[in-house]
Amino acid sequence: MSQTVTPELRRWIIEQASAGFSPESVLKAMLDAGWQQPVAEQALERTLLEHLGSVTPQQLAQAAPEVREAVNAALGVSAQMPHIDLSGSPRRIDAGDRWVDVITHLNHPRVVVLGNLLSPEECDAIIESAKPRMARSLTVQTTTGGEEMNPDRTSNGMFFARGQTPEVSAVEARIARLVGWPVENGEGVQVLHYRPGAEYKPHYDYFDPAEPGTPTILKRGGQRVATLVMYLNEPTRGGGTTFPDVGLEVAPVRGHAVFFSYDRPHPSTRTLHGGAPVLEGEKWVATKWLREREFA
């Protein structure tokens, strides 16, 4: 007699895994219920893998450790993440050489808006040292692994090497302390300049695993797992950082920053975001991307 896997069975498997039962105990229950071992094993594996895309980080956090491990391994997901400790709901956080204000935070997507991350002097110094090296922004092209001009990004930009100027170096150390992530895992700071009308259409910062160029990119430091966009000045109107999945817009205020993290390269992180068009004035930001491992 051949057995077929019904939608009810798949739902039941997901419920069991989400409730914290280990795959072994789910499998045993299926065998006890009369399922043939190969069918049961395949149904279990397929169902859990296919379900991954719709699992929220909160659900996964509640799953049995074996499920979490299997899921993480299957997706190349990072167990450890850059993270801002907001336990005890602090108003301000000690970032080593500076107290940083906590303005707003959201759990899914994981977003933290910070105030006073940079002093006005640091903002100006970073803009001034970036200016001579600005060119039309390139984005890493996952189709090829190279860098290309992207029509969705109408800003101008440049990259600093890590530690290239004293201000960049101080800010990098501050960020590392703030999010508990090594300086070595960070890409160099990128500076972007938007004139009126310029924008950065909604996108994900992680590298799309489905694109052929991604494996090459990942050889250097693995996936991006978090982004910090730092506002170096204030456009008069427009230029906020938007998160369309949740209708959030972060105001570009000088010295403020928006931190967001994504523990898997997947839209379920809800980290789709963009730079809204600048309507009046101009906008300068510095972006710090954090990788899983050392970015050498």
Footprint of ligand AKG (CB under 6 A) = 192, 200, 205, 229, 241, 273, 275, 285, 287
Q: Are 162 and 155 in contact (CB under 8 A)?
A: no
Beta bridge partners of 278: 238
The CB-of-128 to ligand AKG minimum distance in angstroms stands at 19
Q: 164 vs 190, which CB is nearer to ligand AKG?
A: 190
Q: What is the spatial distance between Cα 207 and Cα 215, in angstroms, rounded to a whole number?
A: 9
When the beta carbons of 119 and 139 are compared against Fe ion, the nearer one is 139
Residue 31 half-sphere exposure, CB side, CA atoms within 13 Å? 10
Nearer to Fe ion, 205 or 263 (CB): 205
Contact of residue 167 among Fe ion, ligand AKG, none (CB under 5-8 Å per partner type)? none
Alpha helices in the chain (DSSP H): 7-18, 23-32, 37-51, 57-62, 65-75, 120-130, 166-179, 214-218
Return the number of the residue (126 or 192) whose C-beta is nearest ligand AKG.
Answer: 192
Minimum distance from residue 223 beta carbon to Fe ion (Å): 14
Which of Fe ion, ligand AKG, none does residue 275 bind (CB under 5 to 8 Å by kind)?
ligand AKG
CB atoms within 10 A of CB 220: 12
| Least spacing, CB of residue 159 vs ligand AKG, in Å | 11
281: nearest Cα among 181, 197, 220: 197
Question: Least distance to ligand AKG from the beta carbon of 273, Å?
Answer: 6
Q: Smaller CB distance to ligand AKG: residue 67 or 230?
A: 230
Q: Which does 206 bind (CB under 5 to 8 A by kind): ligand AKG, Fe ion, none?
A: none
Task: Quote the tokens at residue 239.
Answer: 């230029």
Provide the 3-class DSSP secondary structure of residue 195.
coil
| Direct distance between the N- and C-terminal alpha carbons of the chain, in angstroms, rounded to an integer | 57
- Say whether 70 sits in a helix, a strand or coil: helix
Q: Which positions lie near Fe ion, rule CB under 5 A?
A: 205
Nearest approach, Cβ of 65 to ligand AKG (angstroms)? 33
CA distances for 251 relative to 227, 256, 278, angstroms: 16, 9, 12
- Cβ-based nearer residue to Fe ion, 157 or 235: 157
241 binds, among ligand AKG, Fe ion, none (CB under 5 to 8 A by kind): ligand AKG
The identity of residue 114, as a single letter, is: L
Distance CA 140, CA 123 (A): 25
User: At closest approach, how far in Å is the CB of 149 from ligand AKG?
Assistant: 15
Q: Nearer to ligand AKG by C-beta: 10 or 203?
A: 203
**Closest distance between ligand AKG and the C-beta of residue 189, in Å?**
11
Indicate which of Fe ion, ligand AKG, none lies near residue 259 (CB less than 5 to 8 Å, by partner kind): none
- How far is residue 5's CA from residue 26's CA, in Å, rounded to a whole number? 15
Q: Which residue is nearest to ligand AKG (CB)?
A: 275
